[in-house]
Structure formats: structure tokens, C-alpha cells
Amino acid sequence: MKRADVRFYAQLNDFLPPEKRARSITCSFDVSGSVKDMIESLGVPHTEVDLILANGEPVDFTYRVQEGDRISVYPEFQSIDMSSHLRLRPQPLPELRFVADTHLGRLAAYLRMLGFDTLYRNDYADEDLARLSAEEHRILLTRDRGLLMRSVVTRGSYLRAKEPAQQLAELLQRLDLARAITPFRRCMHCNAVLRPIPKETISDRLLPHTRQHFNEFYNCPQCGRIYWKGSHYRRMRRFIDSVTASN
């Protein structure tokens, strides 16, 4: 039986049971497999990994683990220049786009509220989510580690928080989203980009109070919903200010 030692660093330890965190883990194997398979067998999705060292040398996910190897696995570095090493994360997207799994409907609405292109349906199968992420170059958002371990998925983010507002704050910090926010440009229900619409063309759809006190309206070309800057807008504005205050 062959053996190799694997150690995970920083937030990657969140995926491990307490007794395996911040220490070397000895893995036994008969046939040399890929380092990706070994990492994921320990519960860490490959989408969370940015650098792997085998005996001090950078390797990619296809590296075949050998007897006596010392494997070091690192997450994305936020403040250290690792350009000279073999970083495993794909190049940043010119525009951040997301696809959220079926348990993240509220988070998807929040991201749309901030202006981010976010696909969501409550009947997406795991195969659909993985395919959309790969084909449309979207970051797959989920709390399902197994979903992120699908080989077709190259861009993903595992959400540690359970509450939608906390999940949003987590993403804002991890992906440095604050600078890319363009609030209220998308429909929170269907993701389409809103467009201005003259008040007189929709006046018959407005309540008397709304028709009297507001003049600026936006329409969703996909689902037909109408938006204006009423009390709901002010509540959402306060929510945005609260979640972006620390980012």
C-alpha cells in the first residue's frame, strides 16, 4: 500500500472534520490517481483550490500522486502575488455572471437587485447547473460540495453562510463585488435588464397613489413587471447599504 501526505491551508480547512484540520493527512492508495481525485476524496471541491504543490513544486489537477509525496493545497490568495506559480483557477471573467442552485432563490434575487446577471430556477437539475456554469462561463453558487466536484465545473463558489443576507455579504467580500454593483438594473424575478417606460403607457396598471406621486418607471421586457422608486425601493436601498458597509 502506497502513502502520501496531504495538507490543506487557510479556509480550505473548513471542508475537513476538526481532527484533520491544519495538519498533514496520510492517504493510502494502491494505484496512483490524480491529485484532484485525492483532494476531492477528502471533501474539498476543486473549484476552491488555487495552488497545489507536490514536494514543493507546483502541479496541476492531473498530477499522478506518487509514493511518499507531500502535497500542499492552497485556496485563492488575496494579497500575495503568486503569478510565478501554476495557479489553477481560470482567468477572471470580464463580466461576473452567476448560476445559483435550487436552494438559493433569495440570494439570486439579491444578486439581481445589485445588477448581477444571475440565472435561477427552482427546478434546475444538478446536470443543468453544471452545464450552464460550463457553457455560459458562469460562477456556480451552491452549498452542495458534490455539485462543485463535477469535472465539467471550472468556476464555482461554495457558500459557508446559511442565511441569504450573510451569503450575499460573503460573496461581496470573497469576489470583491462592491465595485461592480449597479443596483436596480435587473428584474429581481426573471433577471432581464429593465428599461424605462413612459408613465402614460402604463397608467391604467398603476394604483391612484402611485400614479399621482411617481413619474419615473421601469418595465421588465420579459415578465412585464413594473418598478418605481417607492417605499420598497427605499427598503432595498437601506439593505444594500447595510450589506456593502464593510466591503
pLDDT tens figures, 20-72: 999 999 999 999 999 999 999 999 999 999 999 999 999 999 999 999 999 99
Question: Are residue 173 and residue 213 in the same domain, yes or no?
Answer: no
Least confident of 132-141, 154-163, 237-246: 237-246
Same domain, 115 and 152: yes
Number of independent structural domains in the chain: 3
Instruction: Please check whether residue 188 lies inside any domain of the structure.
Output: no
With 60 as the cut, is the pLDDT of residue 204 above it?
A: yes
Say how far apart CA 54 and CA 26 lie, in whole Å: 14
* pLDDT (0 to 100) of residue 94: 73
Region 146-165: mean pLDDT is: 96
Q: Does the residue 189 lie in any domain?
A: no
Same domain, yes or no: 47 and 101: no
For residues 104 and 68, membership in a common domain is answered with: no
Higher pLDDT, 174 or 119: 119
Domain that holds residue 70: 2-74
Q: Note whether 169 and 104 are same-domain residues.
A: yes
Residue ending a domain, among 135, 153, 180, is: 180
Confidence band, pLDDT 50/70/90 cuts, at residue 79: very low
Please indicate, yes or no, if residue 20 is contained in any of the structural domains: yes
- Asked if 66 and 6 sit in the same domain, the reply is yes
132 and 61 inside one domain? no
Residue 24 maps to a domain: yes
Tell me, yes or no, whether 119 and 143 share the same domain. Answer: yes
Whether 79 is covered by a domain: the verdict is: no
pLDDT for 87 beyond 70: no
| Mean pLDDT, rounded, for 77-106 | 74
Are residues 113 and 176 both part of a single domain? yes
Structural domain includes residue 83 = no
With respect to residue 166, please indicate whether it lies within any of the assigned structural domains.
Answer: yes
Residue 13 lies in a domain: yes
CATH classification at residue 8: 3.10.20.30
pLDDT for the residue 170? 94
Query: Which amino acid is it at 202?
Result: I
Task: Tell whether 110 and 169 lie within a shared domain.
Answer: yes
161 and 223 both lie in a single domain: no
